Structure 1
Amino acid sequence: MAVFNNTDDLVKHVLTKTWNNGVSYTPKELGFPNNTPNASKKKTAANSLFAVKISDTDRREKYERGIGGAIVDKIIDDALKNGFTINIISTPEEPEKALTKTLTRVYKEKIELELGKALKWARLYGYNFLLMGRKDGQDLDTPLSNKSVKVEYIKAIPRNWITEIVYKKDEAGYRVIPEEVEKVNLNPGIFGKNTSIHASRLMMIVNPGLEEDYITGNPNDTIGCSVLDRPFNVISVIDHMLWSAGQTMWRVGGGLLGLDLPPDATPEDRDAALDSLGDINAKTVLAFPDGYKANVLNTASAVLNPAPYFESAIVQLAGVTEYPKSILYGLATGAVTGSQLDRSTYYSKVVVKQNWISNFLVELLKGFTNGDLKNEWELTWNSPYELTEKERLEIKKIQSEIDYNKVNSYIETPDEIRTRDGHPALTQEQLTLLKFVQTKGKEGIASGAASRSREPREAPSTIVHQERTSA
């Protein structure tokens, strides 16, 4: 039985026992909800915790737990959330409201859900197939011969549906370059028979990557690039730190359990009590002989502050994702956070993502409305930028300055400004009062009045005045 003469020896003993228990007890025995990051004691520098080859199972686990899912999803959600406007190419100056309404309804009812899943799966796995269902009277494994048939539905193909991706070959049996998918074979265990879908009935969405690995046709081949591959090790480090911090707080409440022993404690009781400190973290009942008083050792050697380590990991994570550091903190809190510079940087990347999505969305909209639209049109995304309350107030202030200047220089009337903002026109009484206030503002208040004379406020120099010239 161990006997300790000072705090340092006690701390070393407890830390050693805590580590040994942490890697040898099963999660059920520990009572802790998460698995250990690694239950083996045989990891070395040559055989580390980091995965050399990342599998789809690994990616899915990171997606379902913690920050990995937010890294995959958020930028897609932000790109799609504010919708789009349709313009007729021959008259691009003004949005086509009726056509915008029609195509928005098609998008909401038939496209949004499945396209969103396909885009997220492409980001998670590197690629995804989107089935474009047409009622042309042919089986899915036959080439689409009549492309004028309308798309009736779309379906994002889950990864576990696909057993093989078949590539086109030339007459000699060699795969053609550039590589082109001919069909995908589906899982017979799901569909009850051997089934395939011809590539002409599919839209392939690829998240771009180097794609240097040899493509065999296995659905686990590296086609495109998962957005979780580059930050995978950093996310793993964060997961391990979260687990360790949770173990520390759950086991010892922020410190290590110590004992004040009574002077008359027998050597046997002393040894048994001190030796049990390493095991007490895995138990639910404190049972010591009468007269023993429990306390907590909050020494620097007993408790580490994890905050600096998390901060370093978040900085590294920001370097290998589309998300600046302050936006990553927002992913964790669920709040609209981030510095103005970081928000501007992030939303510029959202706009790039919108342009990528346009390639697929325009084709889908044309497929669902094939033959119905007579004019050539184009799609413009509405701004995805989310304004903070401070930014909204700044915009209102600037707009007020602009409106004030326009009224004073007779460019627009108050009614025109109110109509633009969706407000009703001023009543005659309001117009009379407005003219009175403007007149008094220009003339100044008469001498002897309680208030000081006030000149009309000048517009900022950044506002351009429109000069009116006589004929």
Structure 2
Amino acid sequence: MKTIDQAKQFRNDFMLGHGKGNEKDALVRQQPAVRRKLTDVDLSNLYANNSIVQNIIDIPAEDMTSSWFTLRMKDDQLQRNIMSKLADLKAKSAFKQMRSYERLRGDGFISLGVTQSTNFTLSQSIQEDKLKKLDYIHAFSGMKVKDFLLNEDMFSPKYGQVESFEINRQSKFGEQVMGVQQNHVHSSRVLHDQTRKLEDEYRGQSILEPLYDIITVLDTSLWSVGQILYDYAFKIYKSDAVDGMSTEQKNELTMLLDYMFRTEALAIIGGNEELRKESTNTSGMKDLLDYVWDMLAGSVRMPKTVIKGQEAGTITGAQYDVMNYYKRIAAAQENEMKPHIEKLIRVLLWCEGELGGRIDPDTVEWEIKFNPLWSVDSKTDAEIRKLTAETDSIYLVNGVVTADELRETRFGQFGLTNETKFSGDDAYWKRVADEVYRAHKEHRGNG
């Protein structure tokens, strides 16, 4: 027979699982300066067990690559050949995976599998004038990288840059490549995505590390809400006969009453007995949960509606939240993803057997322009362009910009485009923001 202590069951959530009330619990002991470093196993478990964590990791990576980009160059045939080759390499999917790995692990990579006209080792730099083909690209995470070999000579022009990576090329069938030297890969042979790195560390920091306490509270609040819903309405049975019952009789009566009151709507009790129904008071619960969501959204710089993957109706200011999110995605595309895409295209141009012959990338006019993250209907687009033209005319007449500056801004070096570079007053941005929010809702609804 089980004792009462043996029969007790505890919820093994993040709070209890890491010692609530223990001096090591930063949430209880208030130790904000103590860093919590997460292992690869910790990160994998967080990602595997929490759908909100998956959204935080994957949605920005999807948004950065979903619209992809347009390659502009005067040679239309060359442009089509490059985009076709990128499609064959599944570059769009690889870049999405690389950014997801970067957010989850701190470092994301893409390997460049090239063929050269001369023998080479992976520890050697790519020889551009010897490139023949780009055979494949593979995305992988920092879990595969044992060490970062940096240039730490502060008088070197490449100070602080990674010269090579020591990569684990082992499979479950054993070591594929023997020798330490063979596992060193020159930095020119990989694309390395890293956006969060502490000054004294080589590896990037997972976005989940500073979020751990918030995710802890979110997980605990989810469990607490579940407990409240489970016990939202509970019954109290009062009877003098209970005092004389044994433990087994009380357990049997509890199970019987629990079954009966779940299946029957009528209770018959004696005159000296009492049955009451109590409800849990949830006043203020919404404010507490909103606080947790606000902290999470602010920390990851994503609107709550985007994190949840759904819309919660039209909320004042929500249009601007979504638009600001897209502006951050667009900035990340330009500052973080664009250099990697340019490097990949330069490798393709140097390959003798890919595009009809080796091409020096510096001798060709080409430009990467990311496609808009949202679109508007034709009527709204015409109205926005008309408003933009009127604003430009005012700027031109008043000498704010010159005709050449305006021509470069609106038309660029490759002629008229289908996109509009927005600028204007609050009313102008309000209209654009409303369209962005509407398009965002339609996109999420169709997805």
TM-score, normalised by the number of residues in structure 1: 0.61
- The counterpart of 1:122, out of the listed 87, 95, 102, is 102
* SS of residue paired to 1:343: helix
Gaps of 5+ in 1: 1-16, 28-34, 171-175, 216-222, 406-419, 423-461, 463-471
Partner of 2:346: 366
Q: Contact (CA 8 Å) 2:64, 2:96: kept in 1 or not?
A: no
Alignment deviations for residues 29-86 of structure 1 (CA, whole Å, 9 cap, x no partner): xxxxxx5334469532632165733333333333331322212222221121122222
Q: What are the Cα deviations for residues 272-297 of structure 1, in whole angstroms up to 9, with x where unaligned? A: 888999x97xx985699984886541
Relative to total residues, which structure has the larger helix share, 1 or 2? 2
Using the TM superposition, name which of 377-386 and 304-313 deviates more. Answer: 304-313
Aligned to 1:47: 24
Cα deviations by residue, 1:137-156 (Å, 9 ceiling, x for unpaired) = 64654414532413221112
Match of 2:139 in 1: 156
1:168/1:182 contact within 8 Å kept: no
1:6-405 mapped onto 2 (5 Å cutoff): 25=9, 35-39=12-16, 43-44=20-21, 46-48=23-25, 52-64=36-48, 65-88=50-73, 98-110=77-89, 111-136=91-116, 138=119, 140-144=121-125, 146-148=127-129, 149=131, 150-167=133-150, 177-178=159-160, 180-186=162-168, 188=170, 190=172, 192-193=174-175, 194=178, 196-215=183-202, 223-249=203-229, 251-252=230-231, 254-255=232-233, 257-261=234-238, 265=241, 267-269=243-245, 285=259, 291=269, 296-300=277-281, 303=282, 306-323=285-302, 327-335=303-311, 339-355=318-334, 356-370=336-350, 372=355, 375-385=364-374, 392=377, 395=380, 398=383
Question: Structure 1 residues 63 and 386, CA, compared in 2 at 3 Å: closer, same or farther?
Answer: farther
Alignment partners' CA distance in 2, 1:235 and 1:314? 10
Aligned equivalents of 1:41, 1:76: Cα separation in 2 = 31
The 3 A distance-change label for structure 1 pair 39 and 331 is: closer
How far did residue 163 of structure 1 move?
3.5
Query: 1:122 and 1:41, CA in 2 relative to 1: closer, same or farther beyond 3 A?
Result: closer
Q: Give the conservation status (yes or no) of the 8 Å contact 2:236–2:278.
A: no
Task: Assess, with a 3 A threshold, how the Cα gap between structure 1 residues 191 and 119 changes in structure 2: closer, same or farther.
Answer: farther
Q: Which residue of 2 aligns with 1:31?
A: none
Change (3 A) 1:49 1:269: farther
TM-superposed CA distance for 1:109, in Å, is 2.5
C-alpha offsets along residues 328-385 of structure 1, whole Å, 9 cap, x if unaligned?
2332143497721112211110110111211101111222343535732111111113
Q: Please state whether the residue corresponding to 2:217 is helix, strand or coil.
A: helix
Quickly say closer, same or farther: Cα 1:293–1:197, change in 2 above 3 A.
Answer: farther
Distance 1:55 1:45 in 2: 21
Aligned in 2, Cα 1:344/1:131: closer, same or farther, shift over 3 Å?
same
Specify the code of the residue in structure 2 equivalent to 1:156.
A
Cα distance in 1, alignment partners of residues 227 and 301 from structure 2: 31
CA contact 1:261–1:270 (8 Å) conserved in 2: no
Q: Is the 8 A contact 1:140 1:197 kept in 2?
A: no
Contact 1:167/1:181 (<8 A) preserved: yes
Q: Structure 2 unaligned runs (5+)?
A: 28-34, 391-415, 419-427, 429-447
Identical aligned residues as a percent: 16
Q: Matches of 1:333 and 1:397 in 2, distance apart? A: 30
| Separation of aligned partners in 2, 1:191 and 1:139 | 26
Give 3-state SS (helix, strand or coil) of 1:230's partner.
coil
Residue 393 of structure 2 corresponds to which residue in structure 1?
A: none
Report the CA distance between 1:198 and its aligned residue: 1.7
RMSD: 4.3
**Could you say what secondary structure the match of 2:380 adopts?**
helix
More divergent stretch after superposition (357-366 vs 65-74)? 65-74
How many residues are treated as equivalent by the alignment? 346
1:305 is displaced (CA, Å) by: 5.5
Q: Is the 8 A contact 1:164 1:186 kept in 2?
A: no
CA distance in 2, matches of 1:274, 1:41: 34
Q: Distance in 2 between matches of 1:398 and 1:38?
A: 54
Residue 62 and residue 304 in structure 1: after superposition, are their counterparts in 2 closer, same or farther (change >3 A)?
farther
Change (3 A) 1:100 1:77: farther
- The answer to whether the 8 Å contact 1:115/1:156 transfers is yes
- 8 A contact 1:314–1:328 mirrored in 2: yes
Equivalent residue for 2:443? none
User: In 2 relative to 1, CA 310–274 (structure 1 residues): closer, same or farther, beyond 3 Å?
Assistant: farther
CA 1:169–1:99: 2 relative to 1, 3 Å: same
Q: Find the aligned partners of 2:146 and 2:172 in 1 and give their Cα distance.
A: 11
For normalisation by structure 2, the TM-score amounts to: 0.64
Change (3 A) 1:363 1:285: same
In structure 1, what is the Cα distance between the partners aligned to 2:292 and 2:36? 20
Say if 1:211 and 1:274 are closer, same or farther in 2 by CA, change over 3 A. same
SS of 2:183's equivalent in the other structure is strand
Query: For the residues of structure 1 that align with 2:250 and 2:140, how far apart are their CA atoms?
Result: 59
| Matches of 1:177 and 1:362, distance apart in 2 | 22
